[in-house]
Amino acid sequence: MTYTDAAGIELKNTAEQRVEPIAGNTLRLTMDWNIQSFVTQVCLELMEEKQANEVSCIVMNPQNGEIYAMANVPEFDLNRPFELPEGTTCESEEMRQDLLNKMWRNANVSDTYEPGSTFKTVTAAAALEAGVVTFNDTFSCPGFYIVEDRRIRCHKVSGHGSETFLQGIQNSCNPVFIQVGLRLGAERFYSYFEQFELLEKTGIDLPGEARTIMHDPKKIGEVELATISFGQSFQLTTLRLLTTISSFVNGGHTVVPHFGMAISSFDGTSTQKIAYPQGTHVLDEAVSAQMRECLESVVAEGGGNKAYIEGYRIGGKTATSEKLPRGTGKYISSFVGFAPADEPQVIIIMTVDEPQGIYYGGTIVAPKVKKIFENILPYLNL
Ligand SMILES: [Zn+2]
């Protein structure tokens, strides 16, 4: 900066000095622009088709936690943060503020939800590792299971009849998972939540990560245990669930989900890779192989079949959870899928909040995740 007098003559010896801008460092991200654009487009399409409140999606490498895409629609224009999406009606200023707050949040990281059946992967992994069940154990589902004074329904009211544990996973049968959860017992089940790091934040390099809201371990009775075993009565983020399921299918080690890869000096002469903790082993490798196998069979033969792609091996699990308070007919539907099923390189979670009309995760979300896989597997040379 320079100063002049009234005649425009530059003044010498002023205290102010011009400071040249310094070029900053370059942060390299794991995010892939093409995948991010495609995923956002698929989320918008689903939100529109189902007249839903919100659609969220994360695409990650389950081996190392690199996030390729993270979408949360409706989005907002950073240049116009106070503009709500077109067609939004607000009855009051308070409502407008709530909607703005909701729009600004990254639901994947900051919002917890009741996961429903995708959480059955946790029950299965814990029970298989504890040795309280094998794939061939047989169960019987008359359409409900009685725990203490409660009659807890299966989603198939007429019942699944006689089935093995593997078929129970494919059918997503609640009575099967209730019985497996009861075999584990509250104390052991809870210790697996700790082992699988479900009660901790993932450590993602984004602000505002929400923590899991779980029962006090001393207050888990049989009814609570039964509902936890099929993914109800507690809340976590989609990011937390995706990160834990990653460790189930990657051979059993934890990962830290992240965007930051490396920092390069502005002139490109030096690059420093960002290091993340080496994963700890949280699940037996043989059980991890079983998890890949059973979740692949869910897509090949079970409730996730709408994500099946000829020529690709895909594993996954669907979920449909009724929002609280129950009985209002509002749902969150979701799907978690990974590929290739024998050695996963990509894992995806997608949730849709309050879809209208048909709301089953297997019917409405699985086909969208399939669409993402169809697009990105060839793109990633898989
Ligand atoms: Zn059943």
Q: What element of type H or E holds 122?
A: helix 120-130
Q: Counting every residue, how long is the chain? A: 382
Give me ligand 1 centre to Cα 173, in Å.
Answer: 4
* 376 has pLDDT over 80: yes
Give me ligand 1 centre to Cα 333, in Å.
Answer: 19
User: pLDDT tens for residues 303-356?
Assistant: 889 989 888 999 999 999 999 888 889 999 999 999 999 999 999 999 999 999
Q: What is the pLDDT of residue 106?
A: 94
Place 266 in a pLDDT band, splitting at 50, 70 and 90: confident
Give me ligand 1 centre to Cα 169, in Å.
Answer: 10
Strand partners, 72: 56
**How much of the chain, in percent, has pLDDT values that exceed 90?**
81
Residues in CB range of 222: below 8 A, 6 or more apart: 147, 148, 182
Give me ligand 1 centre to Cα 176, in Å.
Answer: 7
User: pLDDT tens for residues 273-318?
Assistant: 999 988 999 999 999 999 999 999 999 988 889 989 888 999 999 9
Closest C-alpha among 258, 246, 127 to residue 180: 127
d(CA 243, CA 207): 17
Integer distance in angstroms from the first to the last C-alpha of the chain? 56
Give the burial string for 324-333 (b: 16+ CB within 10 Å, else e): eeeeeebbbb
Closest C-alpha among 296, 290, 298, 206 to residue 243: 206
Give me ligand 1 centre to Cα 298, in Å.
Answer: 15
Q: Which residue has the higher pLDDT, 10 or 175?
A: 175
Closest C-alpha among 214, 219, 216 to residue 112: 214
Give me ligand 1 centre to Cα 143, in Å.
Answer: 5
Give me ligand 1 centre to Cα 193, in Å.
Answer: 25
Backbone angles phi, psi at 221, to 5 degrees: -90, -175
d(CA 335, CA 71): 15
Question: What's the DSSP call for residue 145?
Answer: E
Give me ligand 1 centre to Cα 133, in Å.
Answer: 17
Average pLDDT for 58-83: 94
Place 4 in a pLDDT band, splitting at 50, 70 and 90: confident
Give me ligand 1 centre to Cα 159, in Å.
Answer: 5
Closest C-alpha among 316, 380, 315 to residue 341: 315
Angle between helices 174-184 and 222-229 (to 10 degrees): 130
Give me ligand 1 centre to Cα 175, in Å.
Answer: 6
- What residues act catalytically? 117
Q: What is the pLDDT of residue 200?
A: 97
**Average pLDDT over all residues of the chain:** 94
Q: Do residues 115 and 245 touch, judged by C-beta distance below 8 A?
A: no
Can you give the three-state secondary structure of 319-369, one letter per residue?
EEEECCCCCCCCEEEEEEEEECCCCCCEEEEEEEECCCCCCCHHHHCHHHH
Cα torsion 373, 59, 24, 105: sign: positive
How many CA atoms, within 13 angstroms, populate the side-chain half-sphere of residue 215?
Answer: 21
Give me ligand 1 centre to Cα 282, in Å.
Answer: 29
Q: What is the pLDDT of residue 342?
A: 95
